[in-house]
Copies of this chain bind each other. A is one copy, B any other.
């Protein structure tokens, strides 16, 4: 173990970036439990006092991190990469793709998963900020593609419910394989789930 703090370059900008990205890697590796001033400074290989100098403290650093991340899938990603093709699909096809893409998007964002769990245990700068981002993104998506007709509140709630279920199952699957007879560690299990989502969608809105 070489102690290379002594050769630290002197560049505020780079140091800030190192700290911010340390938050990300630490969050991905250890979860929000391991997120402290000492740990972040260690991870960034930077003195912890700089966290106070540059960000006013850990919460400032965390919210700086929150502003730079690709935490939540964009409408584009949820639509599957091509908005126009998506817009031309039938409603049931749209919803089916939405479910599929949402599962994929969540699975490949371990930090987002970590934060979603965090949101359930406490409220702080980051979780509040992320909550706002997500809520806006969801509403925007609804308005863009799904709720063309009015008084379709039930449909919106069904979609929200499916989204909640997906969120829960993805979050659980990170530590626990089995849920209600569903094997969340296998592709087959997730296919069964997507199938069920399609059944729900078909049953709820028909072939529209």
Contacts and interface: CB of A to CB of B under 8 A. Distances in A.
Interface of A: 31, 33, 117, 119-123, 127, 131, 135, 138-139, 142, 153-154, 156-165, 167-169, 171-172, 174-176, 178-182, 192-193, 195-197, 199-200, 202-204
A131 B176 contact: yes
A199 B195 contact: no
Contacts of A178: 131, 135
Nearest to A117: B120
Identical subunits present: 2
Contacts of A162: 161, 165
Contact of A139 (B121, B156, B181): B181
19 contacts: A117-B117, A119-B172, A119-B176, A120-B172, A122-B175, A123-B176, A135-B178, A139-B180, A142-B181, A156-B180, A158-B200, A161-B162, A164-B164, A164-B165, A164-B180, A165-B168, A167-B168, A200-B203, A200-B204
Secondary structure of the A contact surface, majority rule: helix
